Amino acid sequence: MLKIRLKRLGAKKQPSYRIIVINSTTKREGRPIQELGFYNPKSKEMKFDKASALEWISKGAQPTERVQYLLKNCKDDGTLNYVKSDKVKLSKKALAKKQAEEEAAAKAAEEAKASEETAEAPAEA
């Protein structure tokens, strides 16, 4: 089975990748069938032959999850259309604290609404 995957290059803690078509049983740095482009995650720089990738996929090659993401966010000229996520990732502890605060705020709002209703009832009578 053929895979479209990343081949790691670069120094320690400075990765850059080549996007390659390779047999799935071959090791990561093995000889590729075809090189489709490169991707540098640090600088968000990419050059990708999208037409060739789609051709290989039509022939039965399976892209990895990361290559599928790159293919989806690739412009027609082969550069990356990078959109920074607005969502902030929180740790489990911070997430639990935020949920507790939201629950406390909801409970306080509920109590305030209930006290307003009880205050209005005697005024109407």
The pLDDT value given to residue 81: 83
Closest CA to 26 of 11, 57, 53, 5: 5
Question: How many structural domains does the chain have?
Answer: 2
In a domain, 29, yes or no: yes
Are 28 and 63 within one domain?
yes
What is the enclosing helix (H) or strand (E) of 104? helix 92-124
Are 66 and 90 within one domain?
no
Residue type, 109: A
In a domain, 77, yes or no: no
Are 67 and 10 within one domain?
yes
The pLDDT value given to residue 30: 83
Q: At 13, which CATH number?
A: 3.30.1320.10
Are 95 and 44 within one domain?
no
Closest CA to 54 of 66, 42, 67: 67
The pLDDT value given to residue 26: 86
In a domain, 100, yes or no: yes
Are 8 and 68 within one domain?
yes
Are 8 and 62 within one domain?
yes
Q: Which residues of 87-110 are buried (b: 16+ CB within 10 A; e: fewer)?
A: eeeeeeeeeeeeeeeeeeeeeeee
The pLDDT value given to residue 95: 92
The pLDDT value given to residue 101: 95
Answer whether 92's CB lies under 8 Å from 86's CB. no
Are 91 and 36 within one domain?
no
In a domain, 19, yes or no: yes
The pLDDT value given to residue 119: 73
The pLDDT value given to residue 125: 52
In a domain, 45, yes or no: yes
Are 48 and 93 within one domain?
no
The 3-state secondary structure of 31-63 reads CCCEEEEEEECCCCEEEECHHHHHHHHHCCCEE
Are 8 and 55 within one domain?
yes
pLDDT per residue as tens, the chain (125 positions):
999 999 999 999 999 999 999 998 988 788 899 999 999 999 889 998 999 999 999 999 999 999 998 988 888 888 888 777 677 788 999 999 999 999 999 999 988 888 887 777 665 55
Tokens of 6: 């990343």
Domain coverage including residue 65? 2-72
